[in-house]
Amino acid sequence: MRLPELDAILADINRIILGKERPVRLSLACLLARGHLLIEDLPGVGKTTLAHVLARVLGLDFQRIQFTSDMLPADVLGVSIFDRDSGAFHFHPGPIFTQVVLADEINRATPKAQSALLEAMEERQVTTEGKTRALPEPFFVIATQNPTHQIGTFPLPESQLDRFLLKVELGYPDAAAERELLAGADRRQMVAALVPRIAPQQLLELQERVRAVHASPALIDYVQILAAHTRTAPHWQAGLSPRACLGLLAVARAWALLDGRDHVLPEDVQAVLPGIIGHRLRPMDDTARTDPHGVAAALIEAVPLP
């Protein structure tokens, strides 16, 4: 049975991000699976809006970091400043101390600034000047990046890309959606008018429910042979890591919950697969730019259900 709060959240987002039901749903699934989200697409297709909307409807604090090439780690994490009155250093938390961080155009920053963010993503805590500070719960990073072949970008290395559970692409809207967008109200006002559908505590409960979604032995077999196929097939430089497999299963669980089911079906795995493999499987021919949906479809069709 479908959960009404999730349907309401999806409906809210889809009212603002028009004609992108699938990426929107994937993004929500990613957050329900406690993963960080990477949105990659051309400038101006609604990446930032999507991140913003997600934070608003989930009722989470939201900070935005615009990454630039002259950015320093302190700009992300925060800095200690000497307070003349008290005669001591006081830590001024950076923009990362929030529930949802929108890391805009992450690949325009230098690797130094990128790694400051990515370490925080993995550890869910920040260590500066010898002191460790926990990040709030829940904590999401929604990063956007321009396609790496664009000018002025520092591509993220595979190890850091792997920390993003899912990568979604938005793409141009179709004609009808675009027309509605053009004819409709101002998106910024609409976002500002959004009211949270759930409280942060409810989000944590939903995340727990995702973890409880049943994955049968037959389904785990399927995930395993999919991963095994990526490791043995000659198309890719390296196959899916065990962390990627865990992620695939987690997102598939969230997808099943969004569909109102208490168990994962192969369809769930197949639906989220493009988002899992898009930033992880690198083709042997490095220069070829491949559509993750096409790659995922080929992979799915090459692996029969066990």
Partner 1 sequence: MARIDRPVSRRQAWWLLAGAVATCLPLAPQFPLWLALAAAAALSWRAALTWRQWHLPPRWLLVMLVIAGTAGVFLQYRTTLGRTPGVALLVIFLALKLLELRTARDAVATALLCYFLILGQFLFTQTIPTALLACLTLLITTAALLAASDDRPEPQQQLRRAGLMLAQALPFMLLLFVLFPRVQGPLWGIPQDRFSAVSGLSDTMSPGSIAQLSQSDAIAFRVKFKGETPPQSQLYWRGPVMPSFDGRNWRVTQTLGAYAEVPYTGLGAPVDYEVTLEPHGKFWLFALELPATLPAESALTSDYQPVARQAVRNRLRYTQRAWPEAIAGINEARNLLGAAVELPKDGNPRIRAISAAWRAQHGDDSAAILAAAENFFSRQLLIYTLNPPLLGADMVDEFLFDTRRGFCEHFAAAFVFALRAAGVPARVVAGYQGGEVNPVDGYLVVRQYDAHAWAEAWIAGRGWVRVDPTAISAPSRISGNLADAVPAGEALPFLARGDLAWLRELRYRLDAVSNGWNQWVLGYNPQRQRDLLASLGLNEPDWRNMTAILSVLCGAVMLGLTAWILRNRLRVDPALAAWRRFTARLARRGIAWQPWEGPQAFAERAARQAPMHAAAIGEIAALYARVRYGPAPQAGELIRLKARISAFRP
Which of 270, 273, 275, 276 contacts partner 1 by CB under 8 A? 270
Is residue 32 part of the contact set for partner 1 (CB under 8 A)?
no
Tell me which residue of 279, 296, 167 sits closest to 229, measured CA to CA: 296
Which residue's CB is nearer to partner 1, number 103 or number 303? Answer: 303
Query: Least distance from C-beta 235 to partner 1, angstroms?
Result: 17
Instruction: Report residue 151 as tokens.
Output: 């000018």
Q: How far apart are CA 24 and CA 147, in angstroms?
A: 19
Which residue's CB is nearer to partner 1, number 104 or number 268? Answer: 268
- Name the one range near partner 1 by CB under 8 A: 53-61, 99-107, 124-132, 297-305: 297-305
Is residue 272 part of the contact set for partner 1 (CB under 8 A)?
no
Q: How far apart are CA 172 and CA 230, in angstroms?
A: 30
| Window 204 to 263, contacts with partner 1 (CB under 8 A) | 214, 216, 218-219, 262-263
Is residue 265 part of the contact set for partner 1 (CB under 8 A)?
yes
Is residue 301 part of the contact set for partner 1 (CB under 8 A)?
yes
Q: How far apart are CA 253 and CA 2, in angstroms?
A: 14
Instruction: Report residue 110 as tokens.
Output: 């230098």
Q: How far apart are CA 214 and CA 138, in angstroms?
A: 23
Query: Least distance from C-beta 268 to partner 1, angstroms?
Result: 8
**Which H/E stretch holds residue 170?**
none
Burial (CB count within 10 angstroms: exposed 0-12, middle 13-18, buried 19+), residue 174: exposed
Tell me which residue of 295, 302, 211 sits closest to 257, measured CA to CA: 211
Is residue 85 part of the contact set for partner 1 (CB under 8 A)?
no
Is residue 96 part of the contact set for partner 1 (CB under 8 A)?
no
Is residue 21 part of the contact set for partner 1 (CB under 8 A)?
no
Residue numbers at the binding site for partner 1 (CB under 8 A)? 214, 216, 218-219, 262-267, 270, 300-305
